[in-house]
Structure 1
Amino acid sequence: MKGIRSLLATGLALALFGAAVASADPTTSTAGAHRGDWPTWQKDLSGTRFNADERRITQHNVDGLRLKWAFAYPHTDAPVRSQPAIVDGVAYFGGPDGRFYARDARTGAARWTFDMSVVEPGPRPAIAWDGPAVAGGRVYFGDIRGYVYALDQRTGTLVWAKQVDAHPSATVTSSPIVFEGRVYVGTSSGENTAGKDYACCTFRGHIDALDADTGALAWRHYTVPQPQAVGTWPSGATKYEPSGAGVWSSPVIDAKTRTLYVGTGQNYTGSAGDFDTLLALDPRTGAVKWRNQVTEADTWRSLCNDPDPEGYCPGLKDGSALDYDIGATPNVFTVGGRTLVGVGQKVGVYHVFDARTGEVVWRRQLGVPLPSGGVSGIQWGSSFDGRRLYIATYFADPGKVFAVDPATGRVLWETPNPADGCTTGGAAQHPDICSLGHGPAVSSSPGVVYEGANDGKLRAYSATTGRVLWTYDTVRDFTGVNGLPGRGGAISGAGGGAVVSDGMVYVQAGYAPAYPNPDGGHVLLAFGL
């Protein structure tokens, strides 16, 4: 699983146009919501992760951000990963404790709490595994068990919950997006992490369209054919092929052409289907408009990293066991009147295609690829502010934050994860844990780029130069507004990232790599000027 336009006037016009489209679209905001909200993981339909309406925080005063409140979760070994949505002065987010929360965005005061365990209690914990989308008076999100929920935005009352996949390993890491009465969300799986005695693998990735009012399935696109038994593994366990190609990432939509874009993961077994592919789908029917497969072969399971993988990872010999899937969410943007769609890959390449045809426009290698495991490249998502693309790399020795020209892929600036990241702050006490990499998606507001790191630090960068303007170390103890003790850590990846709304910045802290936290839980932190 992972540029300055030639004419500034054109870039500014596009930024304003994109902001107007995102603000006016009733399917990505609630009635009465104002333009500074951040209602979905993607921020808007086109996936900019850019708040054009943020006017309080600028590159000149961002160093004045201070912690306004912290929310601490009960102690748990699960990481925190549910990026908050901010709508009408309320923060909506899930915790690693099986609860979903609504808190006052300014003060952290309680609005309501929903206990997810009331939906089909079972052996697997009910934990929000993605970021919510707030639309039409409801809050939509998925969980680790493969359920998608709709809650009443005002009261937190359950409207509906649907298990989109009953496979024992299915999970929803894809943050939903809402468009014209439907919820679009992908399903992924951890089945490929099972051991040698497991009959691997039977999971099929898919992207679904659900009725926003009822949760009923409107259509489904499977990424691989139905797995079939094709023999046995050396252990004697049944071997199934093909499998995998989970949809880890969150979809985006070009409202003008009514096209949904989403990336897919690698095969677990076999080599078939829409693995490592950017899909362009008709949101009304699920029909494929075009597909672009960015890797010729990519079959990977965790046993590929086993000391003795012989017979369990055939791709190690032919170089096709890479784990170089598309875990990042696409960005839809316009250059010179031509609509493009770009997406990062875990091999460290950012790809840009013609949004109408799927034709390759440009590619840029940013991360340094490692032999296997897909941890060096682009993980969860990038940001576009109308002028530049902002892209971060993970374990890339070190990870870096880049600004890239959207027309050509030319790197405008690159800033490495600061070398002192593991020797300063709380991470300095844990040199065996700390690393210089960026797991989260990138976010931006006018003049400022935000990215968190494995060293537990959230940083703000100048959008024009890449200079670090502000750093906050989260590897420290906090007392939550809910009275619980908490401690930060690696900034939340797996689809998380900083959220910028109405003069505030929000981030979840407590992801992998896990820093010792014996006395408290992970934290949601809220900053303001």
Structure 2
Amino acid sequence: GYTGVASARTQPTLAGGRLFVGSESGEVHALDPSTGCTHWSFKAAAGVRTAPSVAPYRANGRSGLAVVFGDQRATLYALDANSGETLWTLKIDDHPSAGITGSPAIHDGRVFVGVQGLGEEGRGATNNNPCCTFRGSLSAVDINTGKLLWKTWTIDEPKPRAKNAAGVQMYGPAGGAIWSAPSIDVKRGLVYAATGNGYADPPQPMTDAVIAFDQKTGKVVWHNQVLPGDQWAMGCQPENPDNPGCPRVMGPDYDFSATPILTNDGRRDLVVVPQKSGIAFAFDPDDGGKLVWKTQFGPPSGLGGQWGGASDGKNFYTGTNGFHTTPGGMTAISLATGEVAWQAPPQPLACGQQRQGCGAGQGAAVTAIPGAVFSGSHDGALRAYSTTDGKVIWQFDTNREFETVNGVKANGASMDGPGPIVAGGMLFVNSGYGGLVGRPGNVLLAFALE
């Protein structure tokens, strides 16, 4: 169990015979995957939502595996996987609203990480807030030294616009956050990232977009914006001609919060990603990111979020989330055609009668293995669907208290954000999501696969 938190939304990582996991309290643990016993713990300066990423390092005459993760104040950490000793830390972004949510991706000695600016996105209509100055970025860091190799912004530098009714200076553009983990394309030497909406005018060409960056230089090789002009800030109204702190015309907030997946349909490579619009997009990485297909798999929902899909080389799988919509269910989309292969309806609620925090939404990232795809739900159930026809072949209800190996009082509840991992003959998943669409919980569960 996790201490002092209302959500368990940091995906664990199994590497080097240990299970690494963080928490919103800032604690990061190295556990024995079979018993859950703790090898070491570390306390970051702020909450940790990223999965720890693990890769070899070599520095100062020593070598081993480095555990790399980010916190909600945009600091990147590297620890020795064996001892938990700090190798280096690096402040990726100095903006007061900047944080790291997407897990770092590591390749060839480089750590790639994006930043988001949730704190500023929620203050657009506040009179005393000089909104908005945050802009998203992707950075590359040397895993051996913690040195920043390059940083590429997703939007232009903010400039003064006008003053609001309280006389506070407003700025723009802003936004273009990178919420999710980037994806590595070894063959093309690229790294892919998906961006969020804008927070303030003027509109920018790389919000709500998939971007391909050169791994060595950070240069943007191509980008494809699927929804231009999606400026959105919490508290603003659809039309805001008299409030310069808000976009003049509000967008629907249909940004990307999922990782773009590099996969292959049997004939060609595709970059596939679901959006909060309820649409999944497939892009051709060999044709400048040209759109290959797009498929509506569920209703749109600006606050719902789609945290990640999965692919098995035949289909792309995604859950259906929602906020003030009808959520729930699982969809398989043919990679070759973009057509829906099957759709599974929402299941009976494991949490009882529908109420605040008890719903059928399946916004958590899904995980596919041969024959099955796993999805956690706001109702607290983890389900396995047959990849053949979408039938539920296994279900576990996490809505209860658990006796934990570390003695912390813990319970399961809603599941959102990170999905389960399957590795070493086991499945690991967090339960508890005390946000807008869920109920609080604080437990990490481990299952043996039969």
**TM-score normalised to the size of structure 2?**
0.92
| Structure 1 partner of 2:90 | 162
**2:413 equivalent among 480, 484, 489:** 489
Hey, what's the Cα distance between the residues in 1 that align with 2:208 and 2:94? Answer: 23
**2:223 equivalent among 288, 291, 294:** 291
Structure in which a larger fraction of residues adopt helix: 1
Hey, what's the Cα distance between the residues in 1 that align with 2:217 and 2:308? Answer: 26
| Structure 2 partner of 1:477 | 401
**1:326 equivalent among 249, 256, 266:** 256
Hey, what's the Cα distance between the residues in 2 that align with 1:321 and 1:507? Answer: 34
Give the superposition deviation at 1:96.
2.1
Hey, what's the Cα distance between the residues in 1 that align with 2:354 and 2:131? Answer: 36
| Structure 2 partner of 1:18 | none
| Structure 2 partner of 1:217 | 148
| Structure 1 partner of 2:81 | 153
| Structure 1 partner of 2:59 | none
| Structure 1 partner of 2:169 | 238
Residue deviations 1:170-192, cap 9 Å, x none?
Answer: 00011111011100000111211
Q: Taking every aligned residue pair, what percent have the same amino acid on both sides?
A: 38
Hey, what's the Cα distance between the residues in 2 that align with 1:112 and 1:462? Answer: 38
Give the partner amino acid of 1:397. Answer: T
Residue deviations 1:17-57, cap 9 Å, x none?
Answer: xxxxxxxxxxxxxxxxxxxxxxxxxxxxxxxxxxxxxxxxx
Give the superposition deviation at 1:288.
1.3
Cα RMSD (Å) of the superposition? 2.1
The answer on 1:504 being equivalent to 2:426 is yes
Give the superposition deviation at 1:311.
2.5
The answer on 1:99 being equivalent to 2:27 is yes
**2:321 equivalent among 385, 394, 404:** 394
Give the superposition deviation at 1:513.
4.7
Hey, what's the Cα distance between the residues in 2 that align with 1:492 and 1:147? Answer: 24
Output aligned runs, 1:421-432, within 5 Å: 421=349, 424=350, 427-428=351-352, 431-432=355-356
Hey, what's the Cα distance between the residues in 2 that align with 1:334 and 1:515? Answer: 34
Is the CA contact 2:180–2:193 (under 8 Å) kept in the aligned structure 1? yes
Give the superposition deviation at 1:417.
2.3
Residue deviations 1:199-220, cap 9 Å, x none?
Answer: 1111111000001111111111
Give the superposition deviation at 1:375.
2.9
Give the partner amino acid of 1:462. Answer: S
Residue deviations 1:459-485, cap 9 Å, x none?
Answer: 111111111111111121112100111
> Which segments of 5 or more consecutive residues in structure 1 lack a partner in the other structure?
1-71, 118-125
Is the CA contact 1:221–1:286 (under 8 Å) kept in the aligned structure 2? yes
| Structure 2 partner of 1:366 | 297
The answer on 1:346 being equivalent to 2:273 is no
Hey, what's the Cα distance between the residues in 2 that align with 1:328 and 1:462? Answer: 22
Residue deviations 1:110-138, cap 9 Å, x none?
Answer: 11111224xxxxxxxx1112111111101
Residue deviations 1:318-356, cap 9 Å, x none?
Answer: 4x4211111110111223432211111111111111112
| Structure 1 partner of 2:209 | 277
Residue deviations 1:387-413, cap 9 Å, x none?
Answer: 211112211512221111001111111
Is the CA contact 2:356–2:437 (under 8 Å) kept in the aligned structure 1? no
> Which segments of 5 or more consecutive residues in structure 2 lack a partner in the other structure?
57-64
Give the superposition deviation at 1:75.
2.7
**1:522 equivalent among 421, 442, 450:** 442
Secondary structure at the aligned position of 2:89 is classed as strand
The answer on 1:449 being equivalent to 2:373 is yes
Give the partner amino acid of 2:179. Answer: W
**1:141 equivalent among 61, 69, 77:** 69
Residue deviations 1:369-398, cap 9 Å, x none?
Answer: 24xxx134x611111112211112211512
| Structure 2 partner of 1:123 | none
Change (3 A) 1:327 1:468: same
**1:383 equivalent among 294, 310, 315:** 310
Is the CA contact 2:163–2:244 (under 8 Å) kept in the aligned structure 1? no
Is the CA contact 1:196–1:312 (under 8 Å) kept in the aligned structure 2? no
**1:459 equivalent among 374, 383, 396:** 383
Change (3 A) 1:457 1:306: farther
Hey, what's the Cα distance between the residues in 2 that align with 1:514 and 1:363? Answer: 27
Hey, what's the Cα distance between the residues in 1 that align with 2:405 and 2:40? Answer: 14
Is the CA contact 1:454–1:513 (under 8 Å) kept in the aligned structure 2? no
Change (3 A) 1:242 1:500: same
The answer on 1:403 being equivalent to 2:332 is yes
Hey, what's the Cα distance between the residues in 1 that align with 2:246 and 2:277? Answer: 20
Structure possessing the higher relative contact order (Cα contacts under 8 Å, 6 or more residues apart)? 1
Give the partner amino acid of 1:107. Answer: T
Residue deviations 1:270-308, cap 9 Å, x none?
Answer: 112411111011101111111111112110011136999
Give the superposition deviation at 1:197.
2.3
Is the CA contact 2:266–2:313 (under 8 Å) kept in the aligned structure 1? no
Is the CA contact 2:357–2:414 (under 8 Å) kept in the aligned structure 1? no
Is the CA contact 2:265–2:313 (under 8 Å) kept in the aligned structure 1? no
The answer on 1:300 being equivalent to 2:221 is no
Hey, what's the Cα distance between the residues in 2 that align with 1:513 and 1:300? Answer: 18
Hey, what's the Cα distance between the residues in 2 that align with 1:502 and 1:93? Answer: 16
Give the superposition deviation at 1:445.
0.7
Length, aligned pairs only: 433
**TM-score normalised to the size of structure 1?**
0.78
| Structure 2 partner of 1:199 | 130
Give the superposition deviation at 1:84.
0.3
Give the partner amino acid of 2:106. Answer: V
Change (3 A) 1:379 1:514: closer
The answer on 1:417 being equivalent to 2:341 is no
Give the superposition deviation at 1:448.
0.8
